[in-house]
């Protein structure tokens, strides 16, 4: 082993030990979804007619393709399972890769621990290599387990491996992307942010490609699109796999190339000096909270404007697309005509924006815990700042921030759609209302996070669990005919699907009530507990 890699093995072992809980969770959650759904296929679609309805209904519905991806062959359990899960698992495996690589490289530099290690006998590339090996290895385990469990569930071996390895390669690609991000960004939060943004863009690119008639090439710009274009269980295109591998190695090499060109602890871009004296406005807990939280909020808001505008410009095409499929046309006409296909697309997108806004809300609440564990709260609370004013000034972000994010997303979508159909005045309110109606559900998520932070700070990170559950329920619940009682667990189930459905105030009011109680409980808990 060359000198630059000395110590890699020990660092891999250290990383595996530190991740001994989180990596098995990723593996368990991601590996067995397709196999378990494949088993359900014949229960869900027992007759030829039911399968035909699936193929010509959901399979041809562009508002569903945006989320799941192109439907190549829904007539077999394998084709169905890979259609349902490839896109979503690709996103999750990508997140796993980004978080894992960052956790063992940039985050270690942030805390100074890597410096400690660097002073021992550890080669220059050891930490990055260890992180890459752990992330790539986990991706491989997930892909192989997925393939074997699918074969075990009776699916053809070729398709099972195409699906599993396609997703492994998505993990490898984002391992490479993360290897670059951690060199560029100066902080782990920024590295995770850039990586997730890249992931989000690749998901959207293929969403745009998969749901359009004339821009399908967009899907080919996305590594997530490639995992789908492997066409598992639908005439595998094996050549896509080596292509993805080459790309993953190429992008990872850029990270290795950048590494020696920067100092430990610094980013590629040199840190700029700040002002010697604070601006007059920097004199309240809120001013500081704004300084700390604004970057994330601005990032989500501008991303949402982009997403909204993109889906807005796609919306009017939905009606045309149905023209090809008489059965789908019939189904949608029964539901109320072409306009309602567009409306239900806009309503569906509003629901997705709600999920995005809730993810932001969790992140904004947990920022408080980061500040606390980094011992940056104590010096503040040792001044004339009360606990309530500190926690209150941060909670503004998970409460008001989602309103901003949703408004901007709904506005972008309504505006672009309105411009394309020449009816901004008529389309904008519906799209905006559909997005903003999500707020009470988002607040419930923020409230749950606040309760964890205020009352059970050691378990604050568990705030990701409820939103994860709600995403699963919302995205997969309808596909597996989940019982209504379970669907009702998610606050998003109760939000009226504007503009396709009528506005009903009752659920909005009681969801808001739950959120208010939860936020208040969280604040009261924080007031009474030990700091640290």
Partner 1 sequence: MDNAISVNGLHKSFGRTKALDGLDLTVATGEVHGFLGPNGSGKSTTIRVLLGLLRADRGEVTLLGGDPWRDAADLHRRLAYVPGDVNLWPNLSGGEVIDLLGRLRGGLDTKRRDSLIERFDLDPKKKGRTYSKGNRQKVAIIAALASSVELLVLDEPTSGLDPLMEATFQYAISEEIEQGRTVLLSSHILAEVEALCDRVSIIRNGRTVETGTLSELRHLTRTSISAELAGHPNGLSTLDSVHDLHVDGNKVRFDVETHALDDVLRRLSDVGVRSLTSQPPTLEELFLRHYTAEGAVTK
Q: Which is nearer to partner 1, 386 or 504 (CB)?
A: 386
> What is the Cβ-side half-sphere exposure of residue 58, based on CA atoms within 13 angstroms?
16
**Could you give the string, one character per residue 480-519, with x where binding to partner 1 holds by CB under 8 A and - elsewhere?**
----------------------------------------
Nearest approach, Cβ of residue 378 and partner 1 (Å):
6
What are the Cα distances from residue 215, in Å, to 2, 68, 211, 260, 312?
47, 17, 9, 40, 15
Nearest approach, Cβ of residue 273 and partner 1 (Å):
4
- Among positions 331-360, residues that touch partner 1 (CB under 8 A) are none
Sole binder of partner 1 in the list 44, 110, 156, 299 (CB under 8 A): 110
Query: What are the backbone angles phi and psi of residue 504, rounded to the nearest 5°?
Result: -120, 125
Nearest approach, Cβ of residue 530 and partner 1 (Å):
5
Angle at 141 between CA 137 and CA 145, to 5 degrees: 170
Q: Does 392 bind partner 1 (CB under 8 A)?
A: no
Q: Say how many C-beta atoms besides its own lie within 10 A of residue 388's C-beta.
A: 14
Q: Does 298 bind partner 1 (CB under 8 A)?
A: no
Nearest approach, Cβ of residue 386 and partner 1 (Å):
4
Q: Which is nearer to partner 1, 113 or 376 (CB)?
A: 376
Q: How far apart are CA 117 and CA 394, in angstroms?
A: 35
Nearest approach, Cβ of residue 258 and partner 1 (Å):
19
The single-letter DSSP state of residue 495 is S
Asked if 528 contacts 521 with a C-beta cutoff of 8 angstroms, the reply is: no
Q: Which is nearer to partner 1, 374 or 400 (CB)?
A: 374
At 457, list the tokens: 């700070």
Q: Which is nearer to partner 1, 8 or 190 (CB)?
A: 190
Q: Which is nearer to partner 1, 285 or 319 (CB)?
A: 285
Q: Which is nearer to partner 1, 462 or 531 (CB)?
A: 531
Nearest approach, Cβ of residue 294 and partner 1 (Å):
10
Q: How far apart are CA 288 and CA 301, in angstroms?
A: 20
Q: Does 425 bind partner 1 (CB under 8 A)?
A: no
- Among positions 249-288, residues that touch partner 1 (CB under 8 A) are 265, 271-279, 282-285, 288
Asked if 125 contacts 259 with a C-beta cutoff of 8 angstroms, the reply is: yes
Nearest approach, Cβ of residue 110 and partner 1 (Å):
7
Q: Which is nearer to partner 1, 111 or 333 (CB)?
A: 111
- Among positions 33-72, residues that touch partner 1 (CB under 8 A) are none
What are the Cα distances from residue 252, in Å, to 247, 248, 270, 313?
8, 6, 22, 34
Buried b (16+ CB within 10 A) or exposed e, 36-46: ebbebbeeebe
- Among positions 182-201, residues that touch partner 1 (CB under 8 A) are 186-187
Q: Which is nearer to partner 1, 47 or 119 (CB)?
A: 119
Total residues contacting partner 1 by CB under 8 A comes to 38
The single-letter DSSP state of residue 20 is T
Sole binder of partner 1 in the list 14, 95, 385, 520 (CB under 8 A): 385
Q: How far apart are CA 78 and CA 372, in angstroms?
A: 47
Q: Which is nearer to partner 1, 383 or 506 (CB)?
A: 383
At 287, list the tokens: 């001013």
Q: Which is nearer to partner 1, 213 or 386 (CB)?
A: 386
Q: Does 455 bind partner 1 (CB under 8 A)?
A: no
Q: How far apart are CA 184 and CA 317, in angstroms?
A: 39
Asked if 100 contacts 385 with a C-beta cutoff of 8 angstroms, the reply is: no
Sole binder of partner 1 in the list 249, 374, 400, 469 (CB under 8 A): 374
Question: Which H/E stretch holds residue 223?
Answer: helix 223-229
The distance in angstroms from the start CA to the end CA of the chain is 42
Sole binder of partner 1 in the list 21, 382, 485, 505 (CB under 8 A): 382
Q: How far apart are CA 295 and CA 194, in angstroms?
A: 12
Of 15-23, 333-341, 379-387, 439-447, the segment contacting partner 1 by CB under 8 A is: 379-387
Angle at 78 between CA 72 and CA 81, to 5 degrees: 80
Peptide bond into 526 cis (omega under 30): no
Q: Which is nearer to partner 1, 113 or 283 (CB)?
A: 283
Q: Which is nearer to partner 1, 13 or 527 (CB)?
A: 527
Nearest approach, Cβ of residue 102 and partner 1 (Å):
15
Asked if 115 contacts 264 with a C-beta cutoff of 8 angstroms, the reply is: yes
Sole binder of partner 1 in the list 9, 18, 387, 494 (CB under 8 A): 387
Nearest approach, Cβ of residue 340 and partner 1 (Å):
48
Q: Does 119 bind partner 1 (CB under 8 A)?
A: no
Residue in this structure with the two tokens 């690589």, named with its chain if needed: 101
Asked if 126 contacts 11 with a C-beta cutoff of 8 angstroms, the reply is: yes
3-state secondary structure of 468: helix
Sole binder of partner 1 in the list 376, 462, 465, 488 (CB under 8 A): 376
Cα dihedral 61, 143, 91, 201 sign = negative
Nearest approach, Cβ of residue 192 and partner 1 (Å):
14
The single-letter DSSP state of residue 531 is P
- Interface residues with partner 1 (CB under 8 A) are 110, 186-187, 265, 271-279, 282-285, 288, 291-292, 374-376, 378-387, 528-532
């Amino acid at each position: 082993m060359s000198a630059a890699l000395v110590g890699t093995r020990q660092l891999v072992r250290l990383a595996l030990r530190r991740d001994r809980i989180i990596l098995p969770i990723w593996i368990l959650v991601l590996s067995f979804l397709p196999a378990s759904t494949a088993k359900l296929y014949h229960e869900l679609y027992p007759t030829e007619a039911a399968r035909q309805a699936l193929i010509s209904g959901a399979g041809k519905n562009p508002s569903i393709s945006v989320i799941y991806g192109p439907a190549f062959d829904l007539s077999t359990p394998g084709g169905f399972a890979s259609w349902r899960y490839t896109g979503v698992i690709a996103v999750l495996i990508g997140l796993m890769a980004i978080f894992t690589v960052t956790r063992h490289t940039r985050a270690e530099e942030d805390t100074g621990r890597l410096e400690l290690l660097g002073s021992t006998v550890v080669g220059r590339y050891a930490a990055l290599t260890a992180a890459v090996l752990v992330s790539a290895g986990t991706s491989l385990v997930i892909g192989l387990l997925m393939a074997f469990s699918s074969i075990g569930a009776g699916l053809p071996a070729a398709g099972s491996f195409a699906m599993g390895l396609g997703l492994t390669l998505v993990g490898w690609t984002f391992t490479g992307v993360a290897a670059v991000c951690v060199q560029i960004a100066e902080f782990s939060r920024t590295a995770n942010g850039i990586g997730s943004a890249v992931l989000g863009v690749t998901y959207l690119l293929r969403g745009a490609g998969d749901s359009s008639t004339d821009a399908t090439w967009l899907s080919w710009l996305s590594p997530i699109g490639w995992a789908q274009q492997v066409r598992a269980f639908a005439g595998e295109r094996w050549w896509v796999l080596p292509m993805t591998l080459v790309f993953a190695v190429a992008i990872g090499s850029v990270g290795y190339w950048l590494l020696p060109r920067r100092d430990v602890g610094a980013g590629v871009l040199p840190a700029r000096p700040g002002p010697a004296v604070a601006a007059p406005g920097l004199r309240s807990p809120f001013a500081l909270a704004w300084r700390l939280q604004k970057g994330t909020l601005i990032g989500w808001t501008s991303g949402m404007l982009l997403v909204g505008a993109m889906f807005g410009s796609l919306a009017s095409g939905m009606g045309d697309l149905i023209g090809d499929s008489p059965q789908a046309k019939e189904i949608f006409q029964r539901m109320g005509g072409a306009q309602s296909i567009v409306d239900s697309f806009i309503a569906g997108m509003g629901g997705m924006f709600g999920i995005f806004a809730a993810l932001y809300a969790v992140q904004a609440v947990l920022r408080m815990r980061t500040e606390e564990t980094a011992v940056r709260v104590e010096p503040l609370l040792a001044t004339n700042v009360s606990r309530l004013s500190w926690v209150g000034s941060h909670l503004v972000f998970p409460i008001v921030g989602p309103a901003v994010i949703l408004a901007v997303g709904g506005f972008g979508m309504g505006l672009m759609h309105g411009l394309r159909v020449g009816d901004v005045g008529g389309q904008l309110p519906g799209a905006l209302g559909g997005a903003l109606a999500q707020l009470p559900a988002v607040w419930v998520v923020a409230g749950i996070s606040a309760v964890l932070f205020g009352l059970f700070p050691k378990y604050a990170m568990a705030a990701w669990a409820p939103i994860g559950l709600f995403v699963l329920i919302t995205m997969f619940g309808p596909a597996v005919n989940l019982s209504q009682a379970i669907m009702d667990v998610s606050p998003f189930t109760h939000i009226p699907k504007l503009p396709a459905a009528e506005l009903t105030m009752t659920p909005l009011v009681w969801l808001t009530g739950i959120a208010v109680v939860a936020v208040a409980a969280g604040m009261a808990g924080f007031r009474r507990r030990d700091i640290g």
